[in-house]
Structure 1
Amino acid sequence: MTPDFHGKHVTVAGLGVSGVPAARVLRELGAEVTVVNGGDGPRERTQAGELEALGVTVRLGDGATLPAGTELVVTTPGWKPASPLFAAAAAAGVPVWGDVELAWRLRDRDPARKPAPWLAVTGTNGKTTTVRMLESILGAAGLRTAAVGNIGVSLLDVVTGDAEYDVLAVELSSYQLHWAPSVRAHSAAVLNLAPDHLDWHGSMAAYAADKGRIYEGNRVACVYNTADPATEELVRAADVEEGCRAIGFTLGTPGPSQLGLVDDLLVDRAFVADRHRQAQELAQITDIGAAARGADQAPPPAPHNIANALAAAALARAWGVTPAAVRDGLRAFRPDPHRIEFVARTGEVTWIDDSKATNTHAAQASLAAYRPIVWIAGGLAKGAAFDELVRDCADRLRGVVLIGADRALIRDALARHAPEVPVVDLDRTDTGAMAAAVREAARLARPGDTVLLAPACASMDMFVNYNARGDAFAAAVRELAAGGEGPAQDCPGH
């Protein structure tokens, strides 16, 4: 039942992609809305002016004080649970919802429209790619769909907008799930679990518990990663609807109730008439992203993207999508930039941009896809340790080029676990360091090698974001090729 917000005093914590739609929608529903936001920069002032024109009160530079009379707090994802605002809300008995929780509760506010069910995805890494794949598959099946949520498209805008959908592909972060106790997906997947955002959650156990919320109330399928037992444990702990099934995905041969690989084929042994004796071919490995890879010089999909494709296929099959639509959707899928993105081939050296690999778990998956590798790494470590990563990939490394503020942490791990690997330590954190890193990588590379930008670190010590870091890498590679170091062959559409 849709809550009645008319005359209700609601405080929205934060502006940005999530807070502005939340404040606007709540105001349209008749609430008395106050937005509190710690920042007070030019962008925030512009957003504040737009909201104030709608009758919303905005307090910039004040993120700790709970406005008098608040009856509900709606928070944006970045605010930590330990924030003073939430402590004040708890002391006053005021509930706190996330913007995703608000969107869920507003799904059925129009009795003339049937709300679109959610196929939901979370995990430490691979969420956006999997949701994009799922969107492509659902679209190939002729369904009205959209990729929404943490992917950058506000769920509130979608559920309150005029467009009607059959089903939504929803990316949910651990931040969003923490504040979304009522969400009940049709089916959901947890792709993997590795330490991340522990400063926000407080512990790995709390982080995993928030991820596991995505399975609560699932109706048809809880999709888990057989290579990551923690994801299956979350399924076992979930309270789901009767008849909901646990569906695994694997890069090996699938057992009953699993999707996996047989030779170069993606196959389904979960959504078939006799899963103990039958398997349904869904696609070939080379179908994944075929339209985007285009020319033959681009490498085949990395193993973790094959796993992402299997997870997306599992959710689509849970919805009832045909094998042909899975194949066609995977063929049409185009990855977002800076995710294992082929940049060029100079001579016989392949250059790959995985700037999105901002933590060790993502970098490990990227490094596992190639050999031999000249690895460009470094940035802001966010408290990460690199010994396990270096130990696992040491035999793949031709050489390493280090950049960024916390590069010494990676250098020390290399000294301990890969002392024979040549290391270039660039003692600089300016944006021009990327061009120097590319030149050094070209010097270390040999024919047949892959130069891989997989920093295992955040980018903000040198760049605005990981996109800018990846753009700088690609530009430097092209400049190198134009200088006669070898013929560059651009990936179509790059």
Structure 2
Amino acid sequence: MEGLLVKKIGFVGLGASNFELLKYIRSTYPEWECLISEQGKVHEEYRAYLEDEGIFFEQDGHTEKILESDFFVMSPGISPRSAIGRRIISSGKPVTTELEFSLKELKKRKKGVFIGITGTNGKTTTTSMLGHIMKEKGLNVFVGGNIGVPLATAMKDDYDFYVLEVSSFQLNWFDSKEPVFHLSSVLNVAEDHLDYHGTFSEYLAQKKKIITLTSEYSILQEDLVNKFDIQRNAHIVPFSLKGKGLLSVKDGIMNFHKVRLDLTRYITTRHNWENALVAIALAHFSGISVFDALEKLVSYKYPRHRLMKVETIEGVCYIDDSKATNAHAVVKALENFQPSDIVLILAGKGKDESFNELLPRLKMLKKVIIIGDELGLVEKLDHDISYEVVDNMKQAVEKAHKAALAGNVVLFSPGGSSFDRYRNYKERGEDFINEVKNLRKTAGMMR
């Protein structure tokens, strides 16, 4: 790190991102001693590398050894409220993340435009949309960050644009005082990850960080200007969901200054109109015309497990929205259908949310099915909500099938993290898909 005398660098957690950065540091700063501390087991492939390189590592918990480091690279998933998080903060030593370290290293080259996209929901879609637009234009672009491809993997190449998904976990450990992004966006902010951040105000504060880390334009929802308590200036580009202002969208019609675009020609889901609006606006500030940007979205393929149609069985449409890991995402999904036609399947591990935004909408649905109760939702349900608690995905799909009629929608939009029963939301979504496919074989016998 610039201006810091480094002898020992401590990696707290060794996931894919930190492992990629470790390899870069070993080749670029061989004089630094690397220490590795992992709460669980070190991945077998990573362990072999550590042993071959003679790098100190500990697993199954953190000891005093890691605190000998001069500065720390944190795995973003480690909460500042955790025992090791608190100890590192109290040490007063510098802290960074793979993303922040890689940004600073790349910016030394004085080449490339860095774009950061955050928000409670829609980060991955908007990031991949913008990346797709740029690639279709023939631009040399890296797409990664929290989206699953560590920025450290881009160090060996030179790109003209870096489009990066940025999470609140990553922002939490950012220590930069100078801007690291040229452009950024905060799509939306709603209750999420309160088990990690402690309070909604703290979660909001982490999302706000990306604005101060941006040198050119930050695009954010109109209501966030007030929530963040920031001054309106040329640096801030607010967008409205009511069809008003310089940048807005309403009923699928996007307005950008004097330009009017009909997003419904290519995009059917309401929340993706918002995602497309931001992707097109960021493309504009990157030198791509809004007309070109929209045209390139025609060939965009949405990531799996996001309002993805699985099957239509006996006139009932089954939708996989496993990526909906908080209540706000479920609300956004529900907006795409007639409430009285929906049989909703909820599941997952809760994040200490209040569910205040979701609860009134549940009353309007045909039925709600909940897998287990690790969401912590059942005790909040009113007697006028039609719901049933089941034990597993198979039971949930079968109960939903019995409740739904032709023309209805069975929507699997869990509202919680997947870590109660699955390794990730993808595995959970595939389980839903498999159970729906199994249902097709037996549906006629179940009525």
Q: What TM-score do the two structures reach when normalised by structure 1?
A: 0.82
Letter in 2 for 1:317: H
Deviation sequence 1:13-49 (CA, Å, 0-9, x none): 1101222112222211212111111112xx5343122
State whether residues 328 and 357 of structure 2, in contact with CA within 8 Å, keep that contact through their aligned partners in structure 1: no
Q: Following TM superposition, by how much is the alpha carbon of 1:377 offset from its aligned partner in structure 2, in angstroms?
A: 1.1
- Aligned residue number for residue 8 of structure 2: 9
| 2:254 is the counterpart of 1:266 | yes
Q: 1:68 to 1:16 in 2, by over 3 A?
A: closer
State whether residues 259 and 314 of structure 1, in contact with CA within 8 Å, keep that contact through their aligned partners in structure 2: no
Deviation sequence 1:374-393 (CA, Å, 0-9, x none): 11112322323335412134
Percent of aligned positions that are identical: 29
Q: Following TM superposition, by how much is the alpha carbon of 1:9 offset from its aligned partner in structure 2, in angstroms?
A: 1.4
Letter in 1 for 2:404: A
| Alignment size in residue pairs | 439
Letter in 2 for 1:230: L
| 2:415 is the counterpart of 1:448 | no
Q: 1:411 to 1:84 in 2, by over 3 A?
A: closer
State whether residues 116 and 166 of structure 1, in contact with CA within 8 Å, keep that contact through their aligned partners in structure 2: yes
| 2:245 is the counterpart of 1:246 | no
Q: Which runs of structure 2 are paired with 1:133-212 in the superposition (5 Å)?
A: 133-158=129-154, 160-162=155-157, 164-182=158-176, 183-212=179-208
Q: Following TM superposition, by how much is the alpha carbon of 1:152 offset from its aligned partner in structure 2, in angstroms?
A: 0.8
State whether residues 194 and 352 of structure 2, in contact with CA within 8 Å, keep that contact through their aligned partners in structure 1: no
| 2:348 is the counterpart of 1:348 | no
Q: Which runs of structure 2 are paired with 1:113-128 in the superposition (5 Å)?
A: 114-128=110-124
Q: Following TM superposition, by how much is the alpha carbon of 1:85 offset from its aligned partner in structure 2, in angstroms?
A: 4.2
State whether residues 374 and 452 of structure 1, in contact with CA within 8 Å, keep that contact through their aligned partners in structure 2: yes
- Aligned residue number for residue 480 of structure 1: 439
- Aligned residue number for residue 295 of structure 1: none
Range that drifts further, 318-327 or 56-65: 56-65
Tell me how far apart the structure 1 counterparts of residues 4 and 26 of structure 2 sit (CA, whole Å).
9
Q: 1:89 to 1:255 in 2, by over 3 A?
A: closer
Q: Following TM superposition, by how much is the alpha carbon of 1:368 offset from its aligned partner in structure 2, in angstroms?
A: 1.8
- Aligned residue number for residue 438 of structure 1: 397
- Aligned residue number for residue 370 of structure 2: 402
State whether residues 190 and 231 of structure 1, in contact with CA within 8 Å, keep that contact through their aligned partners in structure 2: no
Deviation sequence 1:314-359 (CA, Å, 0-9, x none): 2111212112321123212212111111112223221111111111
Q: 1:462 to 1:200 in 2, by over 3 A?
A: closer
Tell me how far apart the structure 2 counterparts of residues 23 and 284 of structure 1 sit (CA, whole Å).
43
Letter in 2 for 1:345: T
Q: 1:232 to 1:56 in 2, by over 3 A?
A: farther
Tell me how far apart the structure 1 counterparts of residues 424 and 81 of structure 2 sit (CA, whole Å).
26
State whether residues 127 and 279 of structure 2, in contact with CA within 8 Å, keep that contact through their aligned partners in structure 1: yes
Deviation sequence 1:32-88 (CA, Å, 0-9, x none): 111111112xx5343122133234221222324244652221111012224444555
Deviation sequence 1:265-311 (CA, Å, 0-9, x none): 33312xxxxxxxxx2134532313xxxxxxxxxxx22x112111111
Q: 1:83 to 1:414 in 2, by over 3 A?
A: closer
| 2:230 aligned to which of 223, 232, 236 | 236
| 2:259 is the counterpart of 1:280 | yes
State whether residues 131 and 171 of structure 1, in contact with CA within 8 Å, keep that contact through their aligned partners in structure 2: yes
Structure 2 unaligned blocks of 5 or more: none
Tell me how far apart the structure 1 counterparts of residues 81 and 366 of structure 2 sit (CA, whole Å).
44
Q: Following TM superposition, by how much is the alpha carbon of 1:472 offset from its aligned partner in structure 2, in angstroms?
A: 1.4
Tell me how far apart the structure 1 counterparts of residues 90 and 313 of structure 2 sit (CA, whole Å).
62
- Aligned residue number for residue 491 of structure 1: none
State whether residues 65 and 85 of structure 1, in contact with CA within 8 Å, keep that contact through their aligned partners in structure 2: no
Tell me how far apart the structure 2 counterparts of residues 153 and 234 of structure 1 sit (CA, whole Å).
29
| 1:391 aligned to which of 360, 365, 375 | 360
Tell me how far apart the structure 2 counterparts of residues 283 and 128 of structure 1 sit (CA, whole Å).
23
Letter in 1 for 2:140: R
State whether residues 362 and 456 of structure 1, in contact with CA within 8 Å, keep that contact through their aligned partners in structure 2: yes
- Aligned residue number for residue 424 of structure 1: 388
- Aligned residue number for residue 320 of structure 1: 287
Q: 1:346 to 1:286 in 2, by over 3 A?
A: farther
Tell me how far apart the structure 1 counterparts of residues 6 and 185 of structure 2 sit (CA, whole Å).
38
State whether residues 249 and 307 of structure 1, in contact with CA within 8 Å, keep that contact through their aligned partners in structure 2: no
Letter in 1 for 2:9: V
Structure 1 unaligned blocks of 5 or more: 270-278, 289-299, 487-494
Tell me how far apart the structure 2 counterparts of residues 206 and 264 of structure 1 sit (CA, whole Å).
33
Q: 1:57 to 1:9 in 2, by over 3 A?
A: same
- Aligned residue number for residue 129 of structure 1: 125
| 2:327 is the counterpart of 1:360 | yes
| 2:35 is the counterpart of 1:34 | yes
State whether residues 266 and 298 of structure 2, in contact with CA within 8 Å, keep that contact through their aligned partners in structure 1: yes
State whether residues 281 and 323 of structure 1, in contact with CA within 8 Å, keep that contact through their aligned partners in structure 2: no
Q: Following TM superposition, by how much is the alpha carbon of 1:132 offset from its aligned partner in structure 2, in angstroms?
A: 0.9
Q: 1:285 to 1:251 in 2, by over 3 A?
A: farther
Q: What TM-score do the two structures reach when normalised by structure 2?
A: 0.90
State whether residues 67 and 88 of structure 2, in contact with CA within 8 Å, keep that contact through their aligned partners in structure 1: no
Q: Following TM superposition, by how much is the alpha carbon of 1:461 offset from its aligned partner in structure 2, in angstroms?
A: 2.4
Tell me how far apart the structure 2 counterparts of residues 90 and 449 of structure 1 sit (CA, whole Å).
51
